[in-house]
Amino acid sequence: MRNNQQWHPAHIRAHRNLSPTVREFEIRPEGGVKPWTVGSHLNLRVIVDGREETRSYSLVGLHDPDVYRIAVKRADPGRGGSRFMWSLEIGAELMIGEPNNHFELSFSAPQFLLVAGGIGITPLAGMAQMLAGKGADVRMRYAARCADELVLADVLKQSLGERLQTFCSDAGQRIDLAAEIAALAPRAQMLVCGPIALLDAAREAWAHAGRPSADLRFETFGNSGHHAAQPFWVELPRHQLRIEVPADRSLLDVLNDAGVETLFDCCRGECGLCTMDVLSVQGDIDHRDVFLSPHEQQSNQRLCACVSRVNGGGVVLDTAYRSD
């Protein structure tokens, strides 16, 4: 089942390259920009190999009454959504959803540490700008593969000044998460967005420091995992179906193509609407979500269909579908 997403026509007002691999788009909806808060994402309909699929991108910066801004990292190889977006010229039409937020910023903490890895900077940039504008005690640590990929560093430097520190892995630089956490005040919040390895390291360092789990907030961009994507099979006894999921497609997209009604929203492993019960698995589940707790992921009793994959076999699932 498609979610209750309302789709609206829009067009590309402008685009510019922020780096050799990241392009920013200004999207102007025909019905006007809806109110949204920093940390929100926007769903888009993309065309991949002649099929319509849904992709989700974080809204960048602060609310603009005229346009939504997103930044798309070109993924080669990938599932095709970024290639579609990069093919769009100014004036091109597309269908978009309405902003939704599963990564809300709370202003109640005494101090904030924002940690971004690569394209994970996109939801955190607006948070940094808003917190700095409100005079909050905030600092940011921003890592990328090289200096060219620190795509929003100049904008953030204007807001944060010396409170922004950047790290380039090609220069051997790493964020010392343990030291950063140790320097935080009690009940400070850390907000993290980036690849799964960064999230795992942040959760481990946070727990090791004895910090309350509720004070750690995180988001991933949903296409990174512990293993490279590979094909896998899925059996759905309730539907008497066995389907194959190619390496370049998500389980959610393949289920929808097969007519299997599946609830979803964020398409990034954050909201949990698309979770399904695992009856059995052959191989290893690469969960790739941030909705399930580490304990839930280790138990392999549920998975998020929008991002989770299987390595070395397949999985038997039960859906929420009931014929009656």
Residues 6+ away with beta carbon under 8 Å from 299:
none
Query: Quick one: pLDDT at residue 201?
Result: 93
Q: What CATH number is given for 112-219 in this structure?
A: 3.40.50.80
Amino acid at the residue 130: M
Query: Quick one: pLDDT at residue 322?
Result: 47
Query: Quick one: pLDDT at residue 102?
Result: 86
212-231 pLDDT, tens digit per residue, is 999 999 887 655 677 888 99
Query: Quick one: pLDDT at residue 251?
Result: 93
Edge-to-edge strand ranges of the sheet holding 41-48 = 51-58, 41-48, 93-96, 8-17, 22-29, 68-73
Query: How far is residue 122's CA from residue 19's CA, in Å, rounded to a whole number?
Result: 14
Residues of the chain scoring pLDDT < 70: 1-4, 77, 221-224, 320-324
Query: Quick one: pLDDT at residue 114?
Result: 98
Residues 6+ away with beta carbon under 8 Å from 119:
22, 71, 73, 151, 221
Element at 251 (helix H, strand E): helix 251-257
The encoded tokens of residue 164 equal 């922004």
Query: Quick one: pLDDT at residue 98?
Result: 93
Query: How far is residue 157's CA from residue 129's CA, in Å, rounded to a whole number?
Result: 10
Query: Quick one: pLDDT at residue 324?
Result: 43
In this structure, which CATH number among 3.40.50.2300, 2.60.40.10, 2.60.120.10, 2.40.30.10 belongs to the domain 8-96? Answer: 2.40.30.10
Q: Is CATH 3.65.10.10 what the domain over 232-318 is classified as, yes or no?
A: no
Residues 6+ away with beta carbon under 8 Å from 134:
107
Is 311 within 8 Å of 281 (Cβ atoms)?
Answer: no
Domain parsing of the chain, residue ranges: 8-96, 112-219, 232-318
Dihedrals phi, psi of 302, to nearest 5 degrees: -140, 160
Query: Quick one: pLDDT at residue 1?
Result: 40
The encoded tokens of residue 5 equal 């997403």
For helices 121-133 and 153-160, give the axis angle rounded to 10 degrees.
20
Strands (E), the chain: 8-17, 22-29, 41-48, 51-58, 68-73, 93-96, 112-117, 138-144, 164-168, 189-193, 216-219, 232-236, 241-245, 275-286, 302-304, 309-318
Query: Quick one: pLDDT at residue 54?
Result: 87
Query: Quick one: pLDDT at residue 75?
Result: 83
Per DSSP bridges, beta strands 302-304 and 275-286 are antiparallel
